[in-house]
Each structure stands twice: as structure tokens, then as C-alpha cells.
Structure 1
Amino acid sequence: MPYITVKAPAGVLGDEAKSVLANGICAAAAECEQVPDDPKMRALCVVTIEENVTSHLTFGGSDLSQMVVSFDATVNIPKGVLDDHSRARFVELLHKAAVDTLPDEKRRIATSFVINEIEDGMWGVRGNLWKLPDFAAASGYRHLQHLVVNR
């Protein structure tokens, strides 16, 4: 159950590309979090795409938007869902989702992802603080179902 905010350059993504990007991100999350192929569980992956005016994005103080398309994302996820391997795979798949979104892009596609693992009991859902067993029950994480049984 990640909450992901992607920042992309304004005007680069049309509606179809935004859909491709969001779907690619959700597929990456489902694989890495081991979420079953259940629409109710997969619907808990929230993706927000924000568009930035490119002249407000600089690299070393320089506007490189003529050479680079930059996607930056913040991934908020409950701590304990990802291990080192799945975290690395997630970043790999997030980059692939960005590249696949713009198959004809001539500029280099640069990506940067920050994964924030939210401490147990520090995420509020519907007015309640949730812990990892709550997320495991709602999202169906296959590798964490032992937490649901022992609740």
C-alpha cells in the first residue's frame, strides 16, 4: 500500500502517458510488495503525478530540459514491507516505468526515487493508526500473511 508522488516536467506527459506511467508504477509496487492479483488490494496503491514547470528544475543551477526529462518520485510505504532485494527491484522497475512511458523520447530520461519507510503506527488510515498487520490484511502482502493470522 504505497503512496507515491511523481514529479514530471509539465507538458511532457499526455493523459495516455500518465496512465501508462501510473499503471507501470502500480505493477512495480504489486510485484515488489507481493500483492495478490486482486483489484481491491491493488487499488490501495495510490499514485499522484505532479507536473513541474521545466524552467524551475535545474541541475547544478542550469536548466537542462532540452537534454533531459527528469522524473522524481517519493514512495511512502509501511516499514517492513520491502527488504533490500525488493527495494532495489522496486527502484529498477520504477525507472523502467518512466522509460516505457516515453518510448520515442530522444532526450535522456533521468529518474530519482526516495523510499520513505513509515514506522509502525505512524500512518493514519480512516481515522486510525495502522500497524504492519493492518497493512498486510488490507493489501494481502503474501510474505506477511503470518502477521494477519497472529493478530
Structure 2
Amino acid sequence: MPLIYINCPAETFDPKIRDELASEITAASLAVEGLPDTAFVRSTCWIYFHEYSVTHVYHGGASMGSNVVSLEVNVFEGGLDDGQKKLLIEKLTTLIRRFASNPNQVPVPVYILIRNVPVTDWGVFGSRITLSELRHPPQDASPV
């Protein structure tokens, strides 16, 4: 059940393909985390796109106008081992680069931060949720 924030310059992703990118990120994230790809579990994976002006990226204290994409991926603490984290970083980087508008054909710099959130700190609609509940949801669980 990753909670993902994607920060990118405006117009990095064409609005027409952003839905496809979100769907592929969801599928890749669930697969790496070992979660079933059901309507219920998919509905617990949230992705937020935050767009900003390319002039709002600073390197060394100066605006460099860089086309950098950063992702903050929040996962259950202990839900991913080191190998899964490496695989998730590789898959997300590949997806971002495949979908990003890149007129100069230079690989888009992608920074990924994985945050391990303690199990006790996950809440959904007023209740705690566990990784085990997501790995073994009821067959008839409706999407949230």
C-alpha cells in the first residue's frame, strides 16, 4: 500500500498519459511489495502529482531550471527488504523516464526516497491498517 508523492516540473507528463503512468506505478509497486493486484488493494495505493515551475528547482542555492523528478514512496516498515527497495527504485525510474516528456532526449534525473512508516502510524478512514490485512484481504473486499 504505497503512498507516493511525485514532484515534477509542469508539463513533464502529458495529462493524457498521466493516468496510464499512475496505473503502471501502482501495478509495479504492488508487485514489488508482494500485494495482490485486486480492486481493493489497488484502491489503497495513492499517488499524488505535484507540479512546479522548472525555475523552482535549486542546486547549490541557485535556480538551475532542471527537469528533475522526485518521488517520495511511503511503505510499511519491514514491508520491503533491501532487494525489493532496489527493484522498486529501478522500476519506478524506468517508468518515469518512459512517460516523461523529454524534448532533449537526455534521461530525466529521477530521485527516489523510500520512507519506512511504522505499522502503528498507518491509518485509513479512521482506522489502523496492517500490511497483513492488505496481503490477505477478504475475497469480497470492496475498493475504498
Fold match (TM-score > 0.5) = yes
Preserved CA contact (<8 Å) 1:44 1:139: no
Alignment of 1:30-49 (within 5 A): 30-49=30-49
AA matched with 2:9: P
Task: Return the TM-score normalized by structure 1.
Answer: 0.79
Which 4+ runs in 1 deviate beyond 6 A? none
TM-score by length of 2: 0.83
User: RMSD value over aligned CA atoms?
Assistant: 2.2
1:74-110 deviation per Cα after TM superposition (whole angstroms, max 9, x unaligned): 1111112111111100000110011110365324300
Q: Equivalent residue for 2:111? A: 112
Show CA shifts across 1:24-64 (max 9, x none). 31122022012223222222211110101111112223433
**Contact 2:4 2:73 (8 Å CA) reproduced:** yes
Paired residues of 2:2 and 2:29 also in contact (CA < 8 A): yes
The range that moved more, 25-34 or 127-136, is 127-136
Partner amino acid for 2:111? S
Q: Return 5+ residue gaps in structure 1 as ranges.
A: 141-151
Pair 91,47 (structure 1): closer, same or farther in 2 beyond 3 Å: same
**Structure 2 unmatched ranges of 5 or more:** 140-144
Structure 1 counterpart of 2:142: none
Counterpart selection for 1:88 from 86, 89, 93: 86
> What is the correspondence of 1:2-81 to structure 2 with a 5 Å cutoff?
2-65=2-65, 68-81=66-79
User: How far, CA to CA, are the matches of 1:57 and 1:126 in structure 2?
Assistant: 34
Aligned residue pairs, count: 138
> In the aligned structure 1, how far is the partner of 2:93 from the partner of 2:138?
23
Shift of residue 129, structure 1, vs aligned partner: 2.2
Contact 1:35 1:139 in 2 (8 A): no
Deviates more, 1:99-108 or 1:13-22: 99-108
Distance 1:14 1:98 in 2: 12
Give aligned-pair identity as a percent. 24
